[in-house]
Amino acid sequence: MQAVIDFLKQNEPRFIDELCDYVRFPSVSAQAQHRADLQACAAWVVKHCKQIGLQARLCPTQGHPIVLAKTPRHPIAAPNRPARAATSRRRPHFLVYGHYDVQPPEPFDLWKSPPFEPRLQGRSLFARGASDNKGQNFAHLKAVEAYLKTNTEIPCDITFVIEGEEEVGSKSLAGFLREHRDELRCDAVVISDTGMPAPDCPALTYALRGIAAIEVTLRGPSRDLHSGIFGGTVDNPAMALSQLLAKLRDQNGRVAIPGFYDEVRPLSAFERKQFKRLPMTDREYQKLLGVPRLFGEKGYTPFEQRAARPTLEINGLTSGYQGEGSKTIVPAWARAKLTARLVPDQKPARIIKLIQQHLKKLCPPTVRMEIEAGHGADPYLVSPDSAHAQAALRALRSAFGHEPVLMREGGSIPIVNDFKRILHADTLLLGLALPDDNAHSPNEKFNLDCFAKGALMSAFLWQELSRIVLQRVTPRLSTPH
C-alpha cells in the first residue's frame, strides 16, 4: 500500500491539471445546445480511463452516453492451484458511480471567473462541476490509477459507471443497468456525490431525500396585453400564480397540501440526538447562506429540516417581461417549476398526484391551468451499521485522520434506488463536497485537500471492503464436504 500512497502524493499536481482539463467541458445536460459537449466530455473520460489502465468503452443511450470502465479482470487461477482458484471465483466486485454532466452555470455574471475556465485559488479549484461531480468521482479514478501504475494488486474488481444525465433525472441509466445486469452484479456501489461537514470531518451518508418534480402554467389572454388599456378586466396570470403558490405553505414552514405528510416516518429520538452532534451552529449556517434569518418547519433544527423532513420549493418562476427597463403588459402566461423533496415512506407518484389535485382545486376560473409532471425518485435509507458501512468508516478514518460522522442528506441521487432494485446492491455514499462548495450555485469549487484525501480514502476502501467480502466467503469455502 505504501507505493500507492506515495504515488498519490507524488502525482497530485498532475491530477489537478487533469481535473482542470475535465472541468473545461461545458457538459450541461439540461441544455440541448451542449449535446456535443457531453459527447466530447464522455469521450475524454473514456480516453482517460484507458490511459490509466482501465478497460473502458462509451455506451450510447437515447440521451447522453454512459462511460463504462473496468479494472483489468484477473484470469481464473490455474487448476493446479485450487485454493487460489476458489478465491478468485469469488473475487469481490464493486461499482463506482459518478456523473460527468453538470448543472447549468447561469447566472454568468455572478461568477468571479468563467464557469468552464478552471481557476486555482489556494486549495480551491473553481469551476462548474469541480465538486458536483467531476472532482469527487475523479478521486476514485486516481486511487485506481495508483494501484495500476504501481503494479499493486487490487483486492477486488472495480467497475466505473459514469453517466451524463444525473442532473436531469438519470433517464437512461435504469435501462442500462437492466441490460448489463450480469456484467454489473456487485457486492456494493460506491458513490462520492454528497457532502461532508468540514475538511476535518469526513462523513458516511446513510439517507438521501427523494424528489417529485412538477411544472404548472397558468394561461390568461391569448397574447400579452397593454396593462393600461386592458388591466383590471382580465385576470393577470402572474398575480394568480403568485396567489396560488403562496397558499402552498403555511406560516410555520409546513407544506399546506392535504395529505402531504401522511406517509412521513417520524424521526427517532436516537437520530435526533445524532444530528445534534454534527458541527456548525445555526448562526454559522445562516452566515454561510447569506440570509437575514433562517426559515423552516417549526419544531425541527435546520439539519433535520434539510435532511430528514419533506419540503416543497419553487425552483423557477417565469412570467411577463424580464428585460431591461419596463414594459406595461398583462402577461399572457405564468409558469412555476416546483419540486418536493421526499423522505421515507413518501412515494413520488402519490405526492405528484396530491400536488396536482390541490393546484387544480386552487385554480380560479379566470385562467387555464396546465400541469406537467416531471421526474421522480424515491427517498433512500440504509443501515449505517452494516459491515460495508463499517469498512467505509475505517477507510474514511485512516485517510482523513479524523472520526467520521454519520449523516442524512437533503439532496437526491435517483439512481441509488435502481442499484438496489436491479442489482440488489446497497450504496455507500462517501461525499467529499464541503458545505461552501457552491454546488448548483455560481462559483462552484472543490477543495483540493478533500480531493487528495478522497483519493487516499478510495485506495484504503478497496482493501477494507474486499476484506469483509472475502472474510464472509472464506468460512464457507473451508467447510469440508
Which range binds ligand BES by CB under 6 A, 3-11, 52-60, 78-86, 190-198?
A: 190-198
Residues 382-408, buried b or exposed e (16+ Cβ, 10 A)? bebeeebbebbbbbbebbbeeebbbbb
Q: Is 378 in the site for ligand BES (CB under 6 A)?
A: no
CB of 162 to ligand BES, least distance (A): 13
CB of 167 to ligand BES, least distance (A): 5
Which range binds ligand BES by CB under 6 A, 62-70, 87-95, 348-356, 404-412?
A: 404-412
Q: Is 145 in the site for Zn ion (CB under 5 A)?
A: no
Q: Are strands 203-208 and 124-126 parallel, antiparallel or unpaired?
A: unpaired
Whichever of 118 and 348 has its CB closer to ligand BES, that residue is: 348
Q: Which three cell numbers, joined as nine digits, stand for 212?
A: 417529485
Q: Is 165 in the site for Zn ion (CB under 5 A)?
A: no
Q: Which three cell numbers, joined as nine digits, stand for 126?
A: 473553481
Which range binds ligand BES by CB under 6 A, 36-44, 58-66, 294-302, 409-417?
A: 409-417
CB of 196 to ligand BES, least distance (A): 10
Mark 2-41 with x for binding to ligand BES (rule: CB under 6 A) and - for no binding. Answer: ----------------------------------------
Q: Is 132 in the site for ligand BES (CB under 6 A)?
A: yes
Question: Closest residue to ligand BES, Cβ-based?
Answer: 411
Q: Are strands 405-409 and 203-208 parallel, antiparallel or unpaired?
A: parallel
What span, in angstroms and rounded, lies between the C-alpha atoms of 362 and 351? 17
Whichever of 131 and 346 has its CB closer to Zn ion, that residue is: 131
165 binds, among Zn ion, ligand BES, none (CB under 5 to 8 A by kind): none
Q: How many CB atoms lie within 10 A of CB 333?
A: 20
Choose, by CB under 5 A, the member of 132, 304, 418, 444 that binds Zn ion. Answer: 132
Choose, by CB under 6 A, the member of 27, 124, 133, 458 that binds ligand BES. Answer: 133
CB of 385 to ligand BES, least distance (A): 21
Q: Is 166 in the site for ligand BES (CB under 6 A)?
A: yes
Cis status, amide bond into 133, omega within 30 of 0 = yes
Alpha-carbon 257 to chain mean position: 27
CB of 190 to Zn ion, least distance (A): 18
Question: Which residues would be at the binding site for ligand BES (CB under 6 A)?
Answer: 132-133, 166-167, 169, 193-195, 208, 211, 375, 377, 409, 411-414, 439
